[in-house]
Amino acid sequence: MKHKLQSLIDIPMGSMFESISKTKNKARPKAKSMRMDIVSEANNRDHWTVKRKRRILHDCIIRKYWWVKNPKIKFPCIVILSRVAMRKLDNDNLQTALKGIRDTVADLLLPGLPRGRADGDPRILWEYGQIRGAKGLRIEIYTKPQEQNIDNFKIEEEK
């Protein structure tokens, strides 16, 4: 079975996030560099406010890139969340590190549901991956055929 790539969103670590500042009744866009640092929340002993700020920052950056790309997604689909970093995490730490990102992507795919509930939809299959490189995040969304054999699926990129 081949899966057709619906959307690919690459988010580098030093993502540019635009904010609007008003001076003398004129709106000027201001670019700020924000870190897209994905860390394991399971082993991290940061204060809860630091973790919350990191989650909100990830949420804002993902929503900005999503709105720029404006992907039209057909269901059912396969979403592959890949953490890009020099060091790898083990499987359970990878899933906890990407949990907030999974909630944000699910909220963008299925708006209107409470936060943290949309990722349980059976039409979305979640996969996780790691890529060695400069820090960042990659979100890939593929179509899922009706009769799906998850063991033997090949990815075909749209040209």
- Give the C-alpha separation, 21 to 158, whole Å: 39
Confidence of residue 113 (pLDDT cuts 50, 70, 90): confident
* pTM, 2 dp: 0.71
pLDDT of residue 65 exceeding 80: yes
Q: Is the pLDDT of residue 38 over 50?
A: yes
Q: Is the pLDDT of residue 90 over 70?
A: yes
Cβ burial, residue 83 (10 Å; 0-12/13-18/19+): buried
Which parts of 37-134 are beta strand (E)?
77-85, 124-132
Tens-digit pLDDT profile for residues 96-105: 899 989 999 9
Q: What domains can you pick out in the chain, each with its CATH number?
A: 2-19+28-148 (3.30.1330)
Cα dist from 96 to 4, 136, 159, whole Å: 28, 16, 33
pLDDT band at 34 (very low <50, low <70, confident <90, very high): very low
For 52, half-sphere exposure in the C-beta direction (CA atoms, 13 angstrom radius) is 3
22: pLDDT confidence band, cut at 50, 70 and 90? very low
pLDDT at 128 over 90: yes
The overall average pLDDT reported for the chain is 75
What mean pLDDT do residues 47-73 have?
A: 85
Quote the pLDDT of residue 4: 66
What is the percentage of the chain residues whose pLDDT exceeds 90?
A: 14
Q: How confident is the model at residue 146 (pLDDT cuts 50, 70, 90)?
A: low
**What's the per-residue H, E or C state across 88-106?**
CCCHHHHHHHCHHHHHHHH
